[in-house]
Amino acid sequence: DIEEPGRMADVIASHLSIKLKDKQALLETVDSKARLHKLLELLNNESEVLEMEKKIGQRVKKQMEKTQKEYYLREQMKAIQKELGDKEGRAGEAEELRAQLKELEAPDKVLEKIGKEIDRLEKMPASSAEGSVIRNYIDWLLQIPWAQFSEDDLDLSKAESILEADHYGLEKPKERVLEYLAVQQLVKEMKGPILCLVGPPGVGKTSLARSIAKSLGRKFVRISLGGVRDEAEIRGHRRTYVGAMPGRIVQALKNAGTMNPVMLLDEIDKMASDFRGDPASALLEVLDPEQNNAFSDHFVELPVDLSKVLFVTTANAVHNIPRPLLDRMELLSLSGYTELEKLEIANRHLLPKQKEAHGLRANQLTVQDDCLLRVIREYTREAGVRQLEQQLAALCRKAAKRIVSEQVEDIQIHAQQLSEYLGVARYRYGLAEQDDQIGTVTGLAWTEAGGDTLNIEVTVVPGSGKLQLTGKLGDVMKESAQAAFSYIRSKAAQWGLEPDFHEKLDIHVHVPEGAIPKDGPSAGITIATALVSAFTNRFVSKDVAMTGEITLRGRVLPIGGLKEKSLAALRAGIKTVLFPHDNERDLADIPDTVRRELTFIPVAHMDEVLQHALLEATSS
């Protein structure tokens, strides 16, 4: 028995697992009461530590029991499922995928790759994140129609009748499709052509591609490239990324369900590029017949054969398409429609379509031809027929309202009643000048929306020889004006002008509609004619429009877009078109109806232009 308090404290402390410095501090405390107080503090601390350890131990024991219980139950379930023949978890998933693989028609390399991925998936734990990535990859590989092809309908007469029924005009693209079908009949195996339909909005590029698919008996898929600026949109993302998926080309093949659809790449000229890559460069492989039989998608990681796909691309302007990409495509130009073509399209396609869309029977609404012509001339200003369709939709809405509210059986709309339905005319038909004028000439311009007329005005006032150019003109057009002015100065004597005439005058060249940017060299002869007219006080014929680039020696150089410009001249009420002699070959592309209405005069030199454009001289 221990009777002395100090000794009792030493004995108890010797049995405690406390730090050496705490034991030393206890020994150094001489007073028994103080030593017992210190010992009590140490005992309390040890008690709390033991309590905490006990709680942690109990918690760990419970967790271990739960894990062991789950493992035991899972093993029991597996044993029961094995007895019943059921599959669950990764094993069941793998079995299901192998069954799909057996039914898949694909190249051996693809089948081998899918088989390896299924084996990998089977060994993955159910909770593994990589397992879901592999499963997604396998699903995509199984959904691609590796060996599925639709059979081409090679009946030329049937294809021709489908194309004719769906579209009026557009002879060249139709002819190209029929040529492809004829070659397919002879060769049996041919790489799909890559067609690029270039033309202003609303001329039927997208709907023509759909008709091509219909005439061939193929599936049709459309990919809109407008605003695409990421290479991964074409080639896909690598499957290690979260949410990775194949590019639009492979997705389109999956949606089509065949490897030889008609694939429309819409608005190919509207693509952009940034730090994520250049999608136009990725398309080089897609649209190259020598390479696209083994197209590489970053996600799929296997060669995809695109050689049987018939690619059709559309664009409003060629100059926005990168040159290497342009070289791989066959360009087919779709210029604007003439008034008579628009009238025919309205009667055959647009009006019946809008009647059906607005719940009108064929005989409930009748729109006379003179009324349709007035809609075309005074309510639309376009190369295509999109605005025309919108106006016809407005007529159908108004007619539907009258039929319902006034209980009318049928409605006939004549040209005189048009303003009651569509309001006042938006455009003046015949934009040509109403009188012969001095210093004002009608030029012809090409825009992405088709051809247009361009009035160029020149005024001359006393001054110090300044040449002012206004109307938001581009650099090329300004240089063209400078060249025209220099040519006139060099020929001053020919027009009875003093050699230093320009030093006493200020010349102002203006192109109206100043908010619209204008550029290009084809207004050269127009500016020169306006300048000569202003300097010599000679009238310019109101019935003449012109287009052509001018040189310092007065030669007239060729231009582009003659067909579109001639259509614009016809719309504006022009009677004579002066155009470069070297563009005579382009007359073959201009519709007969336009050539009958307009007089085309080829010119090789500025003297010929002035001979046809200027009228009699007036007194100063």
| Residue-range domain boundaries for the chain | 1-86, 89-143, 156-333, 339-422, 440-617
**pLDDT reported for residue 620:** 42
CA distances from 619 to 310, 437, 614 (A): 66, 14, 15
Any idea what the Cα angle at residue 409 is, between residues 406 and 415, rounded to 5°? 85
Fold match between domain 1-86 and domain 156-333:
no
**pLDDT reported for residue 391:** 92
**pLDDT reported for residue 520:** 82
Low-confidence ranges of the chain (pLDDT < 50): 619-620
CA atoms within 13 A on the CB side of 494: 10
- Could you please state the CATH topology (level 3) that the domain comprising 156-333 is classified under: Rossmann fold (3.40.50)
Question: Is the distance from CB of 512 to CB of 470 less than 8 angstroms?
Answer: no
CA atoms within 13 A on the CB side of 188: 0
| 216 sits in which H/E element | helix 205-216
How many other C-beta atoms lie within 10 A of the C-beta of residue 492?
Answer: 15
**pLDDT reported for residue 431:** 61
Q: Which of 611, 530, 553, 531 is nearest to 578 (CA)?
A: 611
**pLDDT reported for residue 549:** 92
Q: How many residues does the chain have?
A: 620
Enumerate the active-site residues. Answer: 522, 565
CATH 3.30.230.10 for domain 440-617, yes or no, is: yes
Q: Are strands 194-198 and 330-333 parallel, antiparallel or unpaired?
A: parallel
Classified as helix, coil or strand, 589 is helix
- Choosing among 1.10.8.60, 3.90.79.10, 1.10.10.970, 3.40.50.720, the CATH entry for 339-422 is 1.10.8.60
How far apart CA 507 and CA 495 sit, in angstroms, is 17
Written as six digits, the tokens of 134 are 């592999």
Q: How far is CA 320 from the centre of its chain?
A: 12
Contacts of 608 (CB under 8 A, 6+ apart): 556, 578
CATH of domain 1-86: 1.20.58.1480
> For residue 210, what is the DSSP state?
H
**pLDDT reported for residue 81:** 66
Classified as helix, coil or strand, 140 is helix
